[in-house]
A and B are shown apart, each in its own frame.
Chain A
């Protein structure tokens, strides 16, 4: 799927998320939420609501997992 690089967004790798939801608590725009579903490890992974991300990166630095969150900032 081709992404529009002018729109910031966050991508969560479901199977790398441990469901701690620190990202959910940290997100200033409240665009992250517990998914209510479980990944293959059994964690209630976080998901992006699909819009509203401002690319601030706060979730990235709140997440303890090296690769669970990728943040695409607005292309400068």
Chain B
């Protein structure tokens, strides 16, 4: 370990001893003789040390031969699931925007099981540096076909050679990634000979430097030798990389926007109480609402509102609940759900009580507000004996046949359309219900309307409709 520029030795970004590896051998890597991973590790370590970012660096170790990259790099380390390195790296970088995240993957990891993860991390332009080691074979699992295995190449799972008609073609990740808009830097390099190794050193450093400068997603594909997988000597394997892989996977730069890329540094989120409460709209929770209901005398209200989608059924239901809440009552609202939803009706269940509410489902309503014909047909029979049915007589011609309920025919659609807000017809139904039952004074609806409708003019029109409906009921 040396900082002397005249000495090339083990980088200080490596641990002195690889104690995570075990006790027997803490000085060499677990890689086979001649493996490209070790060479690339050295280049990454050198760049991390040269750029002075060792403390800030978090290395993502994948699954594959480089699963144990964390044995070696004296940086923060996260080891992740097969193929998921770009997703986990996204999580790390978004959590620690000031860190330098280096994601390291092999060809099976990145280009097969993790294709979605790498494509989408690249497409989001995650501020990270990805090193992709392409050696055209699965090393760790025992020499099976990789997505980058060449046509005709024999592997443990292509014993007769890879055939395009069965396995498809070697996948070209640098080309694929460079079709996306976001990546700032995409280059394919090789470790197969001296000139290429020299070039790779510079590219490795640049790809990390880009992240230091906040320039976005950098991707380096590294053609590399797996002598064990290829069943050749290290020197022969490098020759094969040059003669075979270099022709299928052309070396070169596929994208370099570093000169134009705008530096972007994300900030940490605010942990200030007021900022967070304001974001959640919880900062000011005072209210000037004055309650009217004597809670001790309140009778449970089990209401069903039903009609067709677009009549404002669901929001009218929740308006009732909000009003009940302001009165300090217990209330639940639930949209129609489950099998009953079929048939084009929109309906909701609202319960209001002075006690804790068990089931939110209104099986036998004491109030049914029907806004169209099918909903009356469907729900007339479930209303409690002596219950109330409000019928929107503007739309429903049919009469209620039951004699054991109180029925009110109110031209809800007509009134709200005449007054310029057809969408308020269900709120009109709600107003009718409150005007009839007086469980909560109908005027109190006006407070909720003002609260929920930001547009003053619209709120005024709604309130006029509520008053008109109340007058109509009182005149009956």
Contacts and interface: CB of A to CB of B under 8 A. Distances in A.
A and B associate in one complex: yes
Most buried by B among A28, A61, A73: A61
Contacts of B6: 72-76
Contacts of A65: 28-29, 38
A57 B9 contact: no
B282 interface: no
Interface in A23-76: 25-26, 28, 41, 43, 57-58, 60-76
A61 B201 contact: yes
Interface string A1-29: 00000000000010110111110011010
Interface stretch (B39-47, B56-64, B113-121, B444-452): B39-47
Contacts of A21: 34, 233-235
Interface in B51-106: 72
Contacts of A67: 9-10, 14, 27
A49 to B, nearest CB: 18
Contact of A22 (B198, B201, B238): B238
Nearest to A59: B8
Nearest to A64: B38
Nearest to B29: A65
Contact of A16 (B27, B43, B197): B27
A70 B10 CA distance: 7
Contacts of B198: 61
Most buried by A among B31, B33, B43, B197: B33
Given A25-B235, A62-B39, A73-B6, A19 B33 contact: yes
A20 B7 contact: no
Contact of B11 (A22, A58, A62, A66): A66
A63 to B, nearest CB: 7
Nearest to A74: B6
Contact of B33 (A20, A60, A72, A75): A20
B16 to A, nearest CB: 9
Contacts of A71: 7-9
A41 B42 CA distance: 22
Nearest to A57: B8
Most buried by B among A58, A64, A72, A76: A64
B28 A61 contact: no
Contacts of A25: 235, 238
A18 B33 contact: yes
A64 B8 contact: no
A64 B65 CA distance: 14
A20 B28 contact: no
Contacts of B176: none
B8 A18 contact: no
A67 B34 CA distance: 14
A20 B234 contact: yes
A64 B35 contact: yes
B8 A68 contact: no
A64 B29 contact: yes
Given A20-B227, A71-B8, A61 B33 contact: no
Given A64-B31, A73-B8, A22 B43 contact: no
Contacts of B11: 66
Given A64-B39, A74-B6, A22 B28 contact: no
A65 B194 CA distance: 16
Nearest to A15: B27
Contacts of B29: 64-66
Contacts of A28: 194
B36 interface: yes
A75 B235 CA distance: 32
Contacts of A72: 6-7
B37 interface: yes
A21 B236 CA distance: 11
A18 B34 contact: yes
Nearest to B11: A66
Interface of A: 13, 15-16, 18-22, 25-26, 28, 41, 43, 57-58, 60-76
14 contacts: A18-B34, A21-B34, A25-B238, A26-B193, A26-B194, A43-B33, A58-B194, A61-B43, A64-B31, A66-B45, A67-B27, A70-B2, A71-B8, A74-B6
Given A58-B194, A64-B35, 15 more contacts: A15-B28, A16-B27, A16-B28, A19-B33, A20-B235, A22-B34, A43-B33, A62-B39, A62-B197, A63-B42, A64-B39, A67-B9, A73-B6, A73-B8, A76-B6
